[in-house]
Amino acid sequence: MYSTTVTRAATALLLTANTMVSALDLDITSVESIKNTAATIAYDMMLEYKGNVSGGYIGVLPGPPPNPPTGYYWWESGAMWGSLIDYWHYTNDTSYNDVTSAGIQAQVGEDIDMMPSNWSQSMGNDDQAFWGMTAMLAAEYNFPAPADPKAPSWLSLAQAVFNTQAVRPDKECGGGLRWQVFPYLTGYDYKNSIANGCFFNIGARLARYTNNDTYAQHAETTWNWITNVGLMDAEYNVYDGAHIGHNCTDINKVQFSYNSAVWLLGAANMYNYTNGSAIWEERTNRLLNRTLQVFFPEPQRVAYEVACESTLKCTTDMFSFKSYLTRWLASTIKMAPYTHDTIMSYLKPSAVAAAQQCIGGANGRTCGLSWNSGKWDGTFGVGQQMAAMSSVFVTLADLVPVAAPFTNATGGTSQGNPNAGSGSHHDTSLIKPATGSDRAGAGVVTALILIGATGMFGWMSI
């Protein structure tokens, strides 16, 4: 499978080299140009994946733990497989399907709930849920089912994540999920938008896929909680999180694009599930409006990670957020087709700008974060590649037929298990407490909290 991958990508590179002046000369009116550009960026991204190499973990990018703390947290690998499922869905390029399928299956964990004990020193609800959203996407797109008939279905993996999380909200701050799963982890006292937004997103999508209203009721409860506690305000700003020691009144008002986007796509799925209800239409509209205002400055309309892009003081995690922003905006169009013209008028200039700055590094085509700068900003990594790739391939939706996510009633073939995850028994007493360095690395936004939410990012409020 790898040789196929290399051959196809190499073909793309040759085409690019022969016919283009700059490294990635994207023409968003040309299907071939978009496909070649996305293929090239994907190929470079996958050079970072060492799951096949001795010492690597199948399904996991190099990173902590147990490797030195220079790489990627476990959640980002799950996110990357999701971006490659979208890549396949938009481009029809199957080059990465096998490695994606194997990667997800290798990380389902002992209890088949996307929580392998190997990563329990950094297991946030958001980390687990990013793998859950990837499994959900595989179900929605009829991504080829695992060859092993005994392997869990994609849908059941998403249900397992949902079911294990549905019992975790507690009374602190009036409800909601904590950020971290286990009490010994730094951040267990933090309730945040991404953990709850992922749960909301999966619930809304499961409701739509299965037409089981129980999922929608959990999504409603989660929406009510986040608006009540103020992590989403009346202007539809989505703030990062708050601590239970303050009954969640110490809101950290930094805004990240993936927080807004995960809620937006969930709301759009609720809109679709409810057959276009007025309440979810208004919520979708207002979230969309605010997301575009905050993260796509006029007049360029190019995606911008407002919390950290101007200084490039982004963590490894943050460099990837624009991948979810662009993909989830594109998916919002499918759920609420009337948003098409608005959303595409932001995604298209973003794609052009993203490709234009992929001119860095030794290969002359490495992507950075600063899409609007017209030049490479010197940063590189899986996050930057994933984000640029995503922004490019979503523009195919205006040139070729791209199927909307299926449901069980419209051709989705993944058969679920409403009780998935019931075998989950993570006995925290058996898990050794995290060491100092592990704790320092836990989860998605720990670095942000450690450097002081009110220090570096506290001044940010849009």
Q: At its nearest, how many Å lie between ligand NAG and the CB of residue 451?
A: 27
Rg (CA), the chain: 20
Q: At its nearest, how many Å lie between ligand NAG and the CB of residue 379?
A: 28
d(CA 245, CA 438): 23
Residues ≥6 apart with Cβ < 8 Å to 219: 200, 203, 204, 207, 266, 270
Nearer to ligand NAG, 9 or 248 (CB): 248
CA distance to 96, 136, 278, 455, per residue, from 86 (Å): 11, 12, 29, 37
Inter-residue contact 357 to 371 (CB < 8 Å): yes
Q: At its nearest, how many Å lie between ligand NAG and the CB of residue 375?
A: 28
Lookup: tokens for 322: 């624009």
First to last CA, the chain: 47
* Residues of this chain that bind ligand NAG (CB under 6 A): 1-2, 31, 35, 52, 91-92, 98-99, 102, 109, 116, 118, 163, 173-174, 210, 212, 214, 228-229, 247-248, 272-276, 289, 292, 334-337, 342, 396, 400-401, 404, 408, 418
Alpha helices (runs of H) in 1-153, residue ranges in sequence order: 2-19, 31-46, 74-91, 97-106, 125-140
Nearer to ligand NAG, 125 or 156 (CB): 156
Nearer to ligand NAG, 345 or 364 (CB): 345
Q: At its nearest, how many Å lie between ligand NAG and the CB of residue 381?
A: 21
Nearer to ligand NAG, 170 or 374 (CB): 170
CA distance to 131, 226, 332, 433, per residue, from 154 (Å): 11, 28, 21, 32
How many residues belong to the chain? 462
Q: At its nearest, how many Å lie between ligand NAG and the CB of residue 312?
A: 27
Q: At its nearest, how many Å lie between ligand NAG and the CB of residue 81?
A: 12
Nearer to ligand NAG, 7 or 451 (CB): 7
Nearer to ligand NAG, 404 or 450 (CB): 404
